[in-house]
A and B are shown apart, each in its own frame.
Chain A
Amino acid sequence: MNTVSANTAQGTKTPLIGITAVTDEESSVVEPEAAPGGALEMSRFFATHLVANLVKCGNSVESVFGDWLKTHGLIPLKKTTMPDRYFMRVWDHDKRGVFEGRYQINNKTQSIRVSLDFYDISGKKLVIQDVNKVLSTYKLADLWESLAEAIECDPS
């Protein structure tokens, strides 16, 4: 059985949120989880956003993740904060799996990405009904909106 360890998160990944920011519309960097396109796909939480400037917004993103954890009474198992990246891992309420939140500036590709993934302890990828349950239980629409705003924070 493919089990997950909370410390190493070796289960099957279900991406929940992915926002990539680029300054060049023609950039080859795109949000890896984005669907081929079309209006219906916009309701999913994966997007590549065009921004005027790439700004280091690690503090803003960490603050958003921090508020989200607090709202849902979640305590991180692991947290790493660096100038160009942030990482946190946390059990879900039922201890059926772990969430991993990330923020990463990539100077080489001129992009910034923030993401939230879920690793199920049973080793199975979440089916769409369970994804929907996670979306509503953990208010991921609100989290998405806050992260999308935080990724292009105003340094002033």
Chain B
Amino acid sequence: MRSFIVLLFCLISPITSFAGEWRLALCHGQEATKDDLKYRNAIGLSASSVFSAIDPKAVTTMKVRQCVQEPDLACYADDTAIYCREESFSQLIRIAAWLAAERAFIFVSREGSPATLGVAPSLTWTDAYLLADADRYPDAGKLNRVANQVTEQRGLSADSLNAIYSLYLDIHRHINNNTEVDPDNAYLNVAIAVYRASLEYAFAFLLGHEAYHFNNNRCHIQSASIIKSKGIWSVIRGLQLKGGLYDTSNRLDTVELKADHCGYKWLQTVSEKTELGANKVLNTLARKAAIDLLASPLLIGLKGRLEKNIHSNVVPAVKVLPGYLYPQSRLALVSATLRLTEPKSPHVVKLCNEVSKAMVSIIQDAVTHYPDSSGIVPDEVLAELPAGVEKSWNGAPWSEKSHVCEIGE
């Protein structure tokens, strides 16, 4: 069983920066709900697992306190520690569990066959976000309202959603209490495998970025990233410079750029080391789930909101961070990293279905509002989207099929 050390914040030693010890300080605001504070074990397990994958000799120390200064974002870091909002990480944990529970039903019902990967999930990344958010309140009414909305919009029966919810609760019960899973419980075993792997991918990127700052703005991984060696990094970075696709008014800060690049190196390392048993489909499914999971913190933030557009579809109110790459670029690079480290089915490890719709909507919106846009979506971005998107941008009618990732692409 993996373990980590939890200390009170006052026990912090005077050592600063990385010295063989990864320091994660969780803090919560006064408005944190009881539910926000119950995933400490889950956060610690995923964080320590990522830190161990990056440096097996390093120690992970986690500290908990009330926020003295409340970051609006999920995390920030300096040379004393990586500071993260417990509410935000708890939301990430809940989203991961919703996604994993639904994907487990898809996987088990198809007996883990490759056909699993061609199924468009009924529960989208925004559904998981809304359900996870509703579940943080003690009043069950909010969760019921969101559940009704999801069943109506997705054609999912109430029984199916209840079964997913039941599995979601089982994931938390086992993770929070460190209990072993019955090996005969196929649904729970698959759900926990997808949950753990997808969460570790998400933590790898988020903590890798912050670890760069904690480590005095140095990346713990020296080797070149796969996205840089393939030329994807420079193309996507260039979209935000003069002559590119996006508005240059959000100027790129080199420190944040390098911190992000470090996050992608961490993600690559964890992805290359993750092996969920003999079934390759399960590995692929976990990488797909990680993309859906990371869509929330990157596109809208974990304290974000969702809005209805004129077509009554839920679209993200995109959270742009000054100095950073645009959210759509950050998510495209997550997709590229996971796709390029996927050994079996890279064609389906990309921005598919509802995430593809969100990406298309965000890219089109960004281009429409930037008169100096080059208007050219480069191949490096198209490679992360389903083939149907390029066809539709070239004149084919838009449909659900435009956003489906085909196994045989």
Interface of A toward B, CB cutoff 8 Å: 22, 25-27, 30, 34-42, 47-53, 148-149, 152
Contacts and interface: CB of A to CB of B under 8 A. Distances in A.
Given A38-B213, A53-B242, A27 B76 contact: no
A47 B213 contact: no
Nearest to B257: A25
B78 interface: yes
B213 A22 contact: no
Interface of A is mostly: loop
A149 B77 CA distance: 28
A149 B249 CA distance: 8
Contact of B255 (A26, A34, A152): A34
B210 interface: yes
B255 A39 contact: no
Contacts of B76: 38-41
B322 interface: yes
Interface string B244-280: 0000010111111111000000000000000000000
A3 B377 CA distance: 58
B252 A50 contact: yes
B317 interface: no
Contacts of A25: 237, 254, 257-258
Nearest to A35: B78
Interface in B359-401: none
B243 interface: yes
A83 B76 CA distance: 40
Contacts of A152: 242, 251
Given A42-B323, A50-B237, A52-B242, A37 B255 contact: yes
Nearest to B254: A48
7 contacts: A37-B259, A39-B321, A40-B71, A47-B253, A51-B241, A149-B249, A152-B242
B337 to A, nearest CB: 18
Contact of B253 (A26, A40, A42, A52): A42
B79 A42 contact: no
Nearest to B244: A52
Given A30-B255, A36-B217, A50-B257, 14 more contacts: A25-B258, A34-B255, A36-B216, A38-B83, A39-B75, A41-B76, A41-B78, A42-B253, A47-B255, A47-B323, A49-B253, A50-B237, A50-B241, A50-B251
A22 B251 CA distance: 12
Contacts of A26: 258
Contact of B77 (A34, A37, A47, A49): A37
A17 to B, nearest CB: 14
Contacts of B212: 37
Contact of B241 (A30, A39, A41, A52): A52
Interface string B58-91: 0000000000010111011111000100000000
Contacts of B249: 149
A37 B215 CA distance: 10
B199 to A, nearest CB: 21
Nearest to B259: A37
A49 B216 contact: no
A47 to B, nearest CB: 5
A49 B241 CA distance: 10
A50 B69 contact: no
Contacts of A37: 77-78, 212-213, 217, 255-256, 259
Shortest 5 CB-CB contacts between residues of A and residues of B: A38-B76, A37-B213, A52-B241, A52-B242, A50-B252
Nearest to B372: A154
B259 A42 contact: no
B76 to A, nearest CB: 3
Contact of B254 (A35, A36, A49): A49
A51 B254 CA distance: 10
A36 B215 CA distance: 9
B385 to A, nearest CB: 25
A36 B213 contact: yes
Contacts of A39: 71-73, 75-76, 321
B253 A48 contact: yes
B78 A36 contact: yes
B237 A42 contact: no
Contacts of B83: 38
A36 B255 CA distance: 8
Contacts of A42: 253, 256, 321-323
B36 to A, nearest CB: 20
A27 B254 contact: yes
A47 B243 contact: no
Contacts of B321: 39, 42
A49 B78 CA distance: 20
A117 B335 CA distance: 43
A81 to B, nearest CB: 25
A49 B255 contact: no
B22 to A, nearest CB: 16
Nearest to B77: A38
A105 B120 CA distance: 54
A30, A39, A48, A50 pick with most chain B CB within 10 angstroms: A39
B89 to A, nearest CB: 15
